[in-house]
């Protein structure tokens, strides 16, 4: 058997001694020695910093946003060019080009289809009203029972049934073909009721709450259990507290303003002009109103006023008088624009200034110039 030489053993002993002294010194400097790691707080801080840096980088290199901002830069340049051309026309001719007035109008050669929502300005208020149109569009659901929704009633008892033993009801009203465009601002909305005292009076202490069906469009009521109560509800509600007594049969009574409920529905991404809306009523007490089944002309009537941004006329404004001399050609929006509909609009203000606006800015910008 071969044994290591004394010299070899001494070398090993020396190296182990050095390693021991190194580790001993390291341990003095770092009590945890080689076992020391990151604390939980340090790890969370590092993760947070990485997340912030990643968000900044993603935003900085987001190609979709960068392209949208580049198109907005083009829109700002275009509105400036249109304004400069109009001003130069006024200098040379002593008046604005024909057709420019206080109505915001889209520049283009088309003769219709230009009444699109445009930018920051609200047009004049538009009144709209619609009455319950079928016997299935006003209905009652007894809250305490599992009975089918009642569609044939001659009155909507809000909310106590004429038979007190049957408890309170949930009332549903569906209004069809609401021709309010997406993006509209509802400035006022009420429901008008025709008082019905055929099955008792309306002088109990009454507190009602209005709420809408939170849907892009609605279907009519069906005579099955819970067909009103199972519908999704808007966040917005409107209270009608201490409703005045209803003592005269056939008298007209208006609800409080329920525009907040309708606005929530109109603001839905899937809303389209011509969709149908449902309003529900619940609470305590008793205020009875006639239904479509009793007399269509006495059925609940929804009336509202709305405003839309921008366009107030149906025709474009042909400003080809500017081309050639004042503009090489009319600028067109980089996404939607064409010679027929440029998606740039202008008007004269009440102080005879000129307002030019881009109708299709992106990433939340508003682009306009007024001089």
SS (H, E, C) the chain: CCCCCHHHHHHHHHHHHHHHHHHHHHHHHCCCHHHCCCCHHHHHHHHHHHHHHHHHHHHHHCHHHHHHHHHHHHHHHHHHHHHHHHHHHHHHHCCCCCCCCCCCEEECCCCCCCCCEEEEEECCCEEEEEECCCCCCEEEEECCCCCECECCCCEEEEEECCCHHHCEEEEEEEEEEECCCCCCEEEEEEEEEEECCCCCCECCCCEEEEEEECCCCCCCCCCCECCCCCCCEEEEEEEECCCCCECCCCCEEECCCCHHHHHHHHCCCCCCCCEEEEEEEEEECEEEEECCCCCHHHCCEEEEEEECEECCCCCCECCHHHECCCECCCCCCCCCCCCCCCCEEEEECCCCCEEEEECCCCCCCCCEEEC
Burial class (CB in 10 A: 0-12, 13-18, 19+), 321: middle
What are the structural domains of the chain?
Answer: 63-122+311-370 (no CATH), 126-307 (2.60.120)
How confident is the model at residue 57, as a pLDDT?
A: 58
Q: Please give the torsion angle defined by the CA atoms of residues 234, 235, 241 and 246, in that order, rounded to the nearest 10 degrees.
A: -10
How confident is the model at residue 196, as a pLDDT?
A: 95
Distance in angstroms (rounded) separating the CA atoms of residues 291 and 199: 13
How confident is the model at residue 120, as a pLDDT?
A: 62
One digit per residue, pLDDT tens: the chain, 371 residues? 444 444 444 444 444 444 444 444 444 444 444 455 667 777 777 777 887 776 665 555 577 778 888 999 999 999 999 999 999 999 999 999 998 988 888 899 888 877 777 766 666 688 999 999 999 999 999 988 889 999 999 999 999 888 777 889 999 999 999 999 887 889 999 999 999 998 888 889 999 999 999 999 999 999 999 999 999 999 999 999 999 999 999 999 999 999 999 999 998 988 999 999 999 999 999 999 999 999 999 999 999 999 876 555 557 889 888 888 898 888 999 988 899 999 998 888 878 899 998 988 887 778 888 88
How confident is the model at residue 16, as a pLDDT?
A: 46
């Amino acid at each position: 058997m071969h044994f290591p030489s004394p010299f070899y053993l001494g070398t090993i002993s020396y190296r182990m001694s050095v390693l021991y002294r190194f580790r001993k010194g390291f341990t003095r400097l770092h009590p945890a020695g080689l076992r020391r790691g990151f604390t939980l707080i340090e790890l969370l801080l590092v993760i947070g910093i990485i997340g912030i840096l990643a968000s900044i980088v993603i935003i900085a290199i987001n190609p979709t946003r960068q392209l949208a901002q580049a198109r907005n830069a083009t829109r700002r340049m275009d509105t400036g060019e249109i304004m400069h051309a109009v001003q130069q026309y006024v200098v040379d001719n002593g008046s604005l080009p024909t057709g420019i007035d206080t109505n915001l109008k889209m520049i283009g050669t088309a003769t219709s289809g230009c009444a699109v929502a445009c930018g920051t300005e609200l047009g004049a208020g538009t009144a709209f009203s619609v009455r319950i149109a079928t016997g299935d569009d006003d209905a009652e659901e007894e809250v305490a029972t599992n009975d089918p929704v009642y569609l044939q009633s001659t009155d909507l008892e809000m909310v106590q049934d004429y038979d007190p033993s049957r408890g309170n009801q949930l009332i549903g009203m569906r209004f069809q073909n609401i021709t309010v465009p997406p993006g509209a601002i509802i400035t006022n909305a009420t429901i008008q009721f025709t008082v019905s005292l055929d099955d008792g009076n309306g002088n109990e202490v009454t507190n009602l709450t209005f709420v809408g069906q939170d849907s892009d469009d609605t279907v009519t009521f069906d005579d099955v259990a819970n067909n009103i109560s199972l519908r999704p509800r808007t966040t917005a509600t409107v209270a009608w507290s201490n409703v005045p007594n209803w003592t005269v049969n056939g008298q007209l009574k208006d609800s409080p303003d329920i525009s907040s409920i309708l606005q929530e529905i109109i603001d839905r991404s899937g809303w389209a002009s011509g969709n149908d809306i449902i309003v529900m009523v619940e609470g305590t007490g008793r205020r009875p109103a006639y239904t479509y089944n009793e007399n269509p002309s006495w059925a609940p009537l929804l009336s509202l006023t709305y405003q839309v941004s921008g366009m107030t006329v149906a025709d474009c404004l042909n400003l080809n008088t500017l081309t050639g001399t004042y503009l090489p050609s009319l600028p067109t929006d980089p996404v939607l624009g064409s010679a027929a509909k440029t998606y740039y609009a202008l008007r004269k203000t009440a102080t005879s200034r000129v307002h030019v606006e881009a109708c299709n800015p992106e990433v939340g910008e508003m682009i306009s110039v007024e001089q």
